Amino acid sequence: MSHYQKPPELYEGLRLHQNENTGGCSPRVIEALARLRPDQIGFYPPYAAATDAVAAYLGVTPDAVTLVNGLDEGIMAVAVAYLRAAIGGPQLEAIVPEPAFEIFRFDTAVAGGKLVQVMPHADFSFPLDEVLAAITPDTRVVFVTNPNNPTGVDVPLDAIRTIAGRIPPGAIVFVDEAYAEFAGVSFIPHLDAFPNVIVGRTFSKAFGLAGLRIGCLVGSPATLDAVRRAVPVYSVNVAAAVAILAALEDLDHLRDYLRQVAESKALLYDACDRLELPYVKSRSNFVLVRAGDRTDALIAGALAKGIYLRDRSTEPGCAGSVRIATGIVEHTRRAIAVIEEVLCAAR
């Protein structure tokens, strides 16, 4: 498998292709960063205050939380901890219901695991029966994203409970909740009853901290133990550790963004209806638009006008699909104006 290709470094226009918060972080984060002293930068960072604040935000005890340098690092740590085969042992398997965050595929390969893809239903409803049928004695991780990327469709919590009840001992369900704030649903309250589930969260999306790289893994301390060993010591830098404290003190900033996301999605749905573009109803801060044979024209035309959209056509079940972030309302209005112009010109 080839390695992960980062999207091109496009920063001049409107970035609607990586599900970021295009309004940025809370101003309180900038103030906190400005207060950093030279000695704080000179020392390895302390994590207790940040871990306590994240645990309080998520409603768990601090020993159930491990901070990571972006959830990407957490996913790699899960893959390394759970998918490395013992010498002479069988290749260990990761089940990935598709379409999925592509990093699951790449990290499974890096850890030497075997990728078991489960293909999607036409409406992207969660393929529970197919996932259960894919479980074998060598399954070690089932990667689930709720709500899913790139579809924005949710995974019923009951489906996660059912999978957790069927996987072999020593295996985990990894629930990637990168977009949980937008859906307002989390598996975290159920973790006590399901010690074989690990939840991943990020502060890149709803909190607008993608550039600082901070996320966390949440689970029972015993289950997290193996993963903690695979997270490099001090991988979260001091700026991120300080920033998260300030971000969590300004939940009004988060609430405002969530309100704008809801409004933006409604605006984009209306525009799609006008343009006769089918789309998938999303619980997240992006929408998968089924542009069909208009996909190339839409991506290229928007790019030429400085609006970056993500072509997801090569993902399973996503032929002719464009993923568009729906966050700051003013940005969504700009994007819709360009999309309408481009598609009308292409007619």
Residues that bind ligand PLP (CB under 6 A): 19, 70-72, 101, 145, 149, 176, 178, 202, 204, 210, 215
Smaller CB separation from ligand PLP, 149 or 282 = 149
- Cβ 204 to ligand PLP shortest distance, Å: 3
Nearer to ligand PLP, 82 or 301 (CB): 82
The H or E element that residue 96 is part of is strand 93-97
* Residue 232 preceded by cis peptide, ω within 30: no
Closest approach, Cβ 44 to ligand PLP, in A, equals 21
The SS3 of residue 162 is helix
Residues 295 and 314: their CA atoms lie apart, in Å, by: 12
∠ at Cα 102 (289, 157), nearest 5°?
A: 75
Q: Closest CB to ligand PLP among 113 and 208?
A: 208
What's the closest the beta carbon of residue 341 comes to ligand PLP, in angstroms? 28
Residue nearer to ligand PLP on the CB measure, 182 or 301: 182
Three-state DSSP state, 306: coil
Angle of helix 329-346 relative to helix 295-304, nearest 10 degrees?
120
For residue 110, the minimal CB distance to ligand PLP (Å) is 15
Nearest approach, Cβ of 347 to ligand PLP (angstroms)? 33
The nearest distance, CB 273 to ligand PLP, in angstroms, is 26
Cβ proximity to ligand PLP, 38 vs 184, nearer residue: 184
In this structure, what token pair is assigned to residue 80?
């390394």
The smaller minimum CB distance to ligand PLP, of residues 154 and 176, is found at 176
Smallest distance from ligand PLP to CB 178, Å: 4
User: Rounded to an integer, what is the distance from CA 152 to the centroid of its chain?
Assistant: 10
According to DSSP, residue 90 is labeled: P
Q: Which residue is nearest to ligand PLP (CB)?
A: 70
For the chain, first and last CA: distance in Å? 38
Cα(288)–Cα(310) distance, rounded to whole angstroms?
9
CB-based contact 148:178 (threshold 8 Å): no
How many CB atoms neighbour CB 246 within 10 A? 21
Q: Please give the DSSP secondary-structure letter assigned to residue 9.
A: -
Nearer to ligand PLP, 139 or 149 (CB): 149
Q: Nearest approach, Cβ of 277 to ligand PLP (angstroms)?
A: 23
Q: Which residues contact 52 (CB under 8 A, 6 or more apart)?
A: 62
Residues of the chain by 3-state class (helix, strand, coil), percent to 5: 45, 15, 40
